[in-house]
Structure 1
Amino acid sequence: MHTKNDSLIKSSRSSLLAEANRCVSCGLCLPHCPTYRLTLSEADSPRGRIAMISGVASQRIPMNARFAEHIDRCLTCRACEAACPSQVAYGQLIDEARDMLTASLSDLPEERVIRKKNGFKSWLEKIFIDKTKRFDLLRPLIHLFQAVGLQEKLQQSSKVKGTKLGLLLSKLSLIRFPFHRWQEVYPAMGRKRGEVALFLGCVARLVDAETSISAIFVLNHLGYTVYVPRAQTCCGALYQHSGRLTKAAYLIERNRKVFAGLNIHAIISTASGCGSHLVESCSQHQGKNFSAPIMDINQFLAEQDWSEVKLRALPKKVVVHDPCSMRNGLRASIYPYQLLARIPDIEILELDGNNFCCGAAGTYFLDQPEIAEVLLNDKMRALAQSVETSYLVTSNIGCLLHLASGLSNQEEKVEVLHPVTLLARQIGIQ
């Protein structure tokens, strides 16, 4: 007797096979894949993973622990997509493969080996990720936790060292603006040009309020009123890339309803990971778009008229890191450079190796810490080659925290921040 779940699984696997079969195994993706570059294993390459996904979907090979290991090693950086002549939707394939892996035992034959969920990460997601208002309550508590030295002491504790909690604490930067409370509306300054909404995200809302505050400040100075809906929540990207597609779709729908009542020109995202996921959720669900275009803050600002805004000179060297979601998801990596070029006397450099992932990749640094650390060290070596660098800018919160953690023990002080934060400082934010 076939159940409804059986039909859904069969339909999903047919779709998966159709997309996987578009791969011609040409190998042009191989030089662009970070995990293949490190392991030199075909199973850790895009075409190797696609072959395995096809084998599992057609039930030619088992869904076992080895399959899960190679799928989980993928950073979903999607550099392979940009190089693929057949335009295979590799990111979608990986998400759907992880969806198969997270299916319950009742949905699959008993002999399937299903990977165990990371209990600590699952707890964090359940408590906070889609209940983002809690981040505003947690921010001052974490600030106090840091101010009295408890974060450092806990990191050094023998019970915490080497655990997921210890790793997470190592990425937790100093909380700024701990007592900031979001207004529903931030009125434009000077000549009014329009109205936009700001998407706060979840992790950024907790640890990087400065970027959102800076975005509002710059948008206001350019003549835009900014709305910040209180009921907005996580974009769902963390769920999407861990294979929980239904949960991710639920959060997208929640956000769609929250922003639906606003008469705005655009919904602005300051984290390229969030922005990429929001944009692609619209393209994958035609007819269910948001009420306004989703735009990365860099692109939106780069396309504005700056004739009425004065920027102070900054005779410093600024190195730009391109997040994978910006380069391979949004295909908008040029905009931070264009935006920063508006600052007088600035020297802008591209971080060497920008075509490779930094290793943050959502929660990848928690799930695959060894590979994440190797990729982070590559970025640190590249940055060390840029003499007298004052700032490293990046447009995604995960990358920002990961890169900042790599610099925390280095003698040379390089500040890691979002391009819009640097821009706001040169306009005069206090």
Structure 2
Amino acid sequence: MHTKDDSLIKPSRSSLLAEANRCVSCGLCLPHCPTYRLTLSEADSPRGRIAMINGVVSQRIPMNARFAEHIDRCLTCRACEVACPNHVAYGRLIDEARDMMAVSLSDLPEEVVVRKKNWFKNLLERVFIDKTKRFDLVRPLIYLFQKVGLQEKLQQASNVKRTKLGLLLSKLPLIRFPFHGWQEIYPAIGRKRGEVALFLGCVARLVDVETNISAIFVLNHLGYTVHVPYAQTCCGALYQHSGRITKAAYLIEQNRKAFAGLNIKVIISTASGCGAHLVESCSQNQMENFSAPIVDINQFLAEQDWSEVKIKALSKKVVVHDPCSMRNVLRSSIYPYRLLAHIPGIELIELAGNSFCCGAAGTYFLDQPEIAESLLNDKMAALAQSAEASYLATTNIGCLLHLASGLRNQGKKVEVLHPVTLLARQIGIQ
């Protein structure tokens, strides 16, 4: 029998309960929640999930597979935090709830089934995400795999098509810069303004090398020497949002050590998902801060003096997608527009429905494919309203891959890219 006696609540969960109790169930979050909008189920709303977390921590309701289902459906887009008048830290609540689930549900038969279904994702994390330098080694192999047509054949194979592997292959773009290697220092060009460091990320090292190359190119032309520490690794966001908080903290510490000792102004992140996680990790008291502030590249570049940099005109229509991490966590969604506005002749359009998640959400597209595809379809419909758009710009690697796959499936020729990539092209990157 469950009890409401607070003395039985573990001390490690008392702060979780206190945060959950700050929710006054006003319901202002409901219209902003993507899963509630799709299911119209109170259990799939922020208010409903907080109530369930409160009940589990207070031992009034059991933690079971049904509870896990509704918690796992959350995209962690955190649009609810922006709407919440009481500023409830919903992101922390959902992460810690998943941490509880990882421990408490381990012996349930339903959880055993779920873990078996997730073996492929877990394998990828162990082999690559923890050791991001391996992406540099495997990139040429995947490039050759694609060049000889094996990706397409494997993707169409009947025993692969409807699996997580098939879904992952559908998101994998054509590899560019397959043989690119990273230097530890890229010297400034012209008048030197200072030194910065670049956080490469993990998945981007495989499928979006162009964004990081472009970032270095633009920073160098603005007069910044760029450091790329060899020892850096994954930011840990994928682990944090799946409830493996200890593992995420370990990766943050590894990165803190990798960037220590550099004489730099800032540590720049090109992926807003990585940047948001690094910034929030620095704001927590349980670990030492990085040696320099973490700054999203759009914000850093938008605030620079561009008078000495020549930028070619681009008379094209560019639709801008706001990732949830940029809009709801960093609260910096204005900066990509300000950055792209430096390109003469450009026409910038905000993608309709930008306040809603695209469905990528880290590995969410693998874990909840039906919801992820439904949200992606909404983005494709919104983009169709922007006639004759040449580019779709977004600042997060997961969103970029997800949106690009939707456009490929529809046979659309709109290129999806990071704002800094488009800017680098107009400055003259080869």
TM-score band by shorter chain is over 0.9
Using the TM superposition, give the Cα deviation of residue 122 of structure 1 relative to its aligned residue in structure 2, in angstroms: 0.6
Structural mapping, 1:287-306, within 5 Å: 288-306=288-306
Using the TM superposition, give the Cα deviation of residue 12 of structure 1 relative to its aligned residue in structure 2, in angstroms: 2.3
Using the TM superposition, give the Cα deviation of residue 365 of structure 1 relative to its aligned residue in structure 2, in angstroms: 0.1
| AA aligned opposite 2:388 | E
| AA aligned opposite 2:166 | G
Using the TM superposition, give the Cα deviation of residue 92 of structure 1 relative to its aligned residue in structure 2, in angstroms: 0.5
| AA aligned opposite 1:399 | C
Structural mapping, 1:19-38, within 5 Å: 19-38=19-38
Paired with 1:423 and 1:307, the residues of 2 have a C-alpha distance of 15
Structural mapping, 1:84-123, within 5 Å: 84-103=84-103, 114=111, 116-117=114-115, 118-123=118-123
**Residue 222 of structure 1 corresponds to which residue in structure 2?**
222
**Residue 4 of structure 1 corresponds to which residue in structure 2?**
none
CA RMSD of aligned residues (A): 1.5
Change (3 A) 1:341 1:61: same
Using the TM superposition, give the Cα deviation of residue 86 of structure 1 relative to its aligned residue in structure 2, in angstroms: 0.5
Conserved? CA contact 2:340–2:423, under 8 Å: yes
Change (3 A) 1:123 1:8: farther
1:103-161 per-position Cα deviation (integer Å, ceiling 9, x unaligned): 1678xxx6796463311111110011010110000100000001111000000001101
Paired with 2:232 and 2:298, the residues of 1 have a C-alpha distance of 21
User: TM-score by structure 2 length?
Assistant: 0.96
| AA aligned opposite 1:80 | C
Paired with 2:195 and 2:287, the residues of 1 have a C-alpha distance of 23
Paired with 1:256 and 1:105, the residues of 2 have a C-alpha distance of 32
Q: Does 1:387 align with 2:387?
A: yes
Paired with 2:286 and 2:370, the residues of 1 have a C-alpha distance of 39
1:298-331 per-position Cα deviation (integer Å, ceiling 9, x unaligned): 0000000000001000000000000000000100
Conserved? CA contact 2:9–2:58, under 8 Å: no
Runs of at least 4 residues off by over 3 Å: 110-116
Structural mapping, 1:61-72, within 5 Å: 61-72=61-72
Paired with 2:227 and 2:9, the residues of 1 have a C-alpha distance of 41
1:327-354 per-position Cα deviation (integer Å, ceiling 9, x unaligned): 0010000000000001000000000000
Conserved? CA contact 2:267–2:295, under 8 Å: yes
Paired with 1:9 and 1:100, the residues of 2 have a C-alpha distance of 13
Structural mapping, 1:303-342, within 5 Å: 303-342=303-342
**Residue 152 of structure 1 corresponds to which residue in structure 2?**
152
Paired with 1:111 and 1:364, the residues of 2 have a C-alpha distance of 22
Using the TM superposition, give the Cα deviation of residue 410 of structure 1 relative to its aligned residue in structure 2, in angstroms: 2.7
Change (3 A) 1:112 1:163: closer
Paired with 2:75 and 2:309, the residues of 1 have a C-alpha distance of 40
Change (3 A) 1:287 1:232: closer
SS in 1 for 2:103: coil
Paired with 1:105 and 1:357, the residues of 2 have a C-alpha distance of 28
Paired with 1:14 and 1:111, the residues of 2 have a C-alpha distance of 25
**Residue 128 of structure 2 corresponds to which residue in structure 1?**
128
Change (3 A) 1:112 1:157: closer
Structural mapping, 1:32-47, within 5 Å: 32-47=32-47
Change (3 A) 1:228 1:386: same
Paired with 2:89 and 2:8, the residues of 1 have a C-alpha distance of 21
Change (3 A) 1:96 1:308: same
Paired with 2:228 and 2:111, the residues of 1 have a C-alpha distance of 40
Paired with 2:295 and 2:401, the residues of 1 have a C-alpha distance of 22
User: TM-score by structure 1 length?
Assistant: 0.96
Q: Does 1:255 align with 2:239?
A: no
Paired with 1:380 and 1:390, the residues of 2 have a C-alpha distance of 14
Conserved? CA contact 2:64–2:105, under 8 Å: no
Paired with 1:232 and 1:126, the residues of 2 have a C-alpha distance of 16
* 202-211 vs 287-296, greater mean Cα deviation: 287-296
Using the TM superposition, give the Cα deviation of residue 9 of structure 1 relative to its aligned residue in structure 2, in angstroms: 8.0
Change (3 A) 1:9 1:302: farther
Change (3 A) 1:131 1:224: same
**Residue 207 of structure 2 corresponds to which residue in structure 1?**
207
Paired with 1:329 and 1:12, the residues of 2 have a C-alpha distance of 25
Conserved? CA contact 1:62–1:112, under 8 Å: no
Paired with 1:105 and 1:294, the residues of 2 have a C-alpha distance of 35
Conserved? CA contact 1:63–1:112, under 8 Å: no
| AA aligned opposite 1:40 | L
1:192-226 per-position Cα deviation (integer Å, ceiling 9, x unaligned): 00000000010011110000000000000000000
| AA aligned opposite 2:68 | A
**Residue 140 of structure 1 corresponds to which residue in structure 2?**
140
1:234-264 per-position Cα deviation (integer Å, ceiling 9, x unaligned): 0000000000000000000000011011010
Change (3 A) 1:262 1:409: same
Paired with 1:424 and 1:111, the residues of 2 have a C-alpha distance of 52
**Residue 343 of structure 2 corresponds to which residue in structure 1?**
343
1:153-196 per-position Cα deviation (integer Å, ceiling 9, x unaligned): 00000110100000000000111000000001000000000000
**Residue 186 of structure 2 corresponds to which residue in structure 1?**
186
Using the TM superposition, give the Cα deviation of residue 286 of structure 1 relative to its aligned residue in structure 2, in angstroms: 6.0
| AA aligned opposite 2:147 | A
SS in 2 for 1:82: helix
Identity %: 84
Paired with 1:45 and 1:393, the residues of 2 have a C-alpha distance of 29
Structural mapping, 1:159-198, within 5 Å: 159-198=159-198
Change (3 A) 1:136 1:287: closer
Conserved? CA contact 1:140–1:178, under 8 Å: yes
Paired with 1:30 and 1:112, the residues of 2 have a C-alpha distance of 32
- Equivalent residue pairs, number: 421
Q: Which runs of 5 or more structure 1 residues have no equivalent in the other structure?
A: 1-6
| AA aligned opposite 2:416 | V
| AA aligned opposite 2:296 | D
**Residue 3 of structure 2 corresponds to which residue in structure 1?**
none
SS in 2 for 1:103: helix
Paired with 1:301 and 1:236, the residues of 2 have a C-alpha distance of 25
